[in-house]
């Protein structure tokens, strides 16, 4: 397993950890300098084994770095019409089957070269259940720095031959906020999906944010969760403010509520494909009351063991890795 981190504040180098089945060890990271202000465009890390890992960084340029078991090397990428304000997403099924998405472009690595394809919408995340079951999610409009685009959720599927846009639930409810002229503002919500988890042809999850205009706070955002059952996407009740999400290793998804960080991750829930929700027990012992910030969640493939990574506060302030099984 691999875990990638960066400075919590300021600018610095990436921190890379590797778990060999017995203990975590720091490994050399590619030469990428990161600014904590760019946390929304954090590098994408994917791996198929201890000798095959990729890190895609979207800093001033889009860069691909590959780990062969001994060292990192930079792999040239073809032109993907990269916008510095866009985030990259990646997934890997095998050393010769890697996908990268950024903006409205996707690139596929076949073990020798990259092939670039145009996407029907803007993507922020990609996940694959099989070579012909690859999903990318994002929004219908190009992301803007201020985050308000009027975008609707976009889901795209690769069937082994081409990328196709798949209809997703929309929300065009006009805002009732009163504007400076004393009339309803009328703006529609902006919805962007930021993560996708594909378990199989009839079981895919997508998580994102719904942002509405607010005259007092500027904008107000809540988390939305969607599920694909093989025929259509549907909205799934979940946490209103999710800090991290990922596979539960059992065809469902785990949602970590931002409020759960203050009490040993209490309130973290698992959502099953049928929509049923189960609360996961909080951390035990001395960690029960630890305040932590969780930034990523992932299940070990083929198991129900889940790892959460982030930051632990208090006396032992620093990187945190938590395991649930």
Residues 6+ apart with CB under 8 A from 44: 54, 55, 56, 88, 89, 90, 100
For 246, the 3-state DSSP assignment is strand
What is the pTM assigned to this prediction?
Answer: 0.91
**Token representation of residue 325:** 């099984």
For 22, the 3-state DSSP assignment is coil
pLDDT score of 177: 67
pLDDT score of 186: 65
Q: Which residue ranges of the chain lie beneath pLDDT 70? A: 39, 85, 143-149, 177-186, 214-218, 239, 260-263, 285-289
% helix, strand, coil for the chain, step of 5? 5, 55, 40
Q: Is 265 left (phi over 0), alpha (psi -120 to 50) or beta?
A: left
DSSP characters over 85-117 = T--EEEEEEETTEEEEEEEEEEEEE-SS-EEEE
Nearest to 47, CA basis, from 13, 76, 4, 6: 4
CB atoms within 10 A of CB 130: 12
C-alpha 296/C-alpha 287 separation (Å) is 18
Largest CA distance in the chain: 65
Fold of 2-243: Neuraminidase (2.120.10)
Instruction: Classify residue 231 by its DSSP letter.
Output: S
DSSP characters over 150-214 = ---EEEEEE-SS-EEEE------PPP--B-TTSSB--PPPEEEEEEEEEEETTEEEEEEEEEEEE
pLDDT score of 263: 67
Domain map of the chain by residue range? 2-243, 244-325
DSSP characters over 52-75 = EEEEEEESSSEEEEEE-SS-EEEE
pLDDT score of 182: 67
């Amino acid at each position: 397993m691999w875990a990638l981190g960066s400075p919590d504040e300021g600018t610095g180098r990436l921190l890379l950890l590797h778990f060999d089945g017995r203990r975590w060890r720091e490994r050399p990271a590619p030469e990428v300098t990161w600014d904590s202000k760019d946390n929304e465009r954090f590098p994408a890390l994917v791996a198929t084994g201890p000798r095959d890992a990729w890190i895609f960084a979207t800093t001033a340029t889009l860069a691909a770095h590959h780990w062969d078991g001994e060292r990192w090397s930079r792999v040239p990428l073809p032109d993907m019409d990269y916008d510095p304000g866009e985030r990259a997403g990646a997934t890997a099924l095998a050393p010769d089957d890697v996908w990268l998405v950024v903006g409205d472009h996707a690139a596929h690595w076949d073990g020798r070269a990259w092939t670039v394809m145009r996407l029907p919408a803007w993507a922020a995340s990609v996940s694959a259940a099989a070579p012909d079951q690859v999903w990318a999610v994002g929004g219908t409009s190009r992301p803007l720095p201020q985050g308000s685009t009027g975008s609707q959720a976009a889901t795209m599927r690769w069937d082994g031959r081409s990328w196709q846009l798949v209809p997703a639930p929309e929300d065009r409810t006009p805002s009732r906020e009163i504007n400076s002229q004393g009339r309803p503002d009328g703006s529609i919500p902006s919805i962007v999906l930021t993560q996708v988890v594909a378990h199989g042809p009839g079981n895919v999850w997508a998580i994102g944010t719904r942002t509405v205009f607010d005259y007092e706070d500027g904008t107000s955002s809540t988390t939305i969760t969607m599920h694909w059952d093989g025929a259509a996407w549907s909205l799934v009740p979940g946490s209103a403010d999710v800090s991290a999400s990922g596979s539960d290793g059992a065809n469902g998804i785990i949602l970590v509520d931002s409020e759960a960080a203050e009490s040993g991750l209490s309130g973290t829930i698992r959502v099953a494909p049928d929509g049923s929700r189960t609360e996961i027990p909080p951390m035990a012992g001395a960690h029960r009351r630890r305040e932590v910030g969780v930034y990523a969640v992932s299940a070990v493939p083929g198991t129900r063991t889940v790892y959460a990574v982030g930051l632990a506060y208090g006396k032992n302030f620093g990187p945190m890795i938590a395991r649930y099984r």
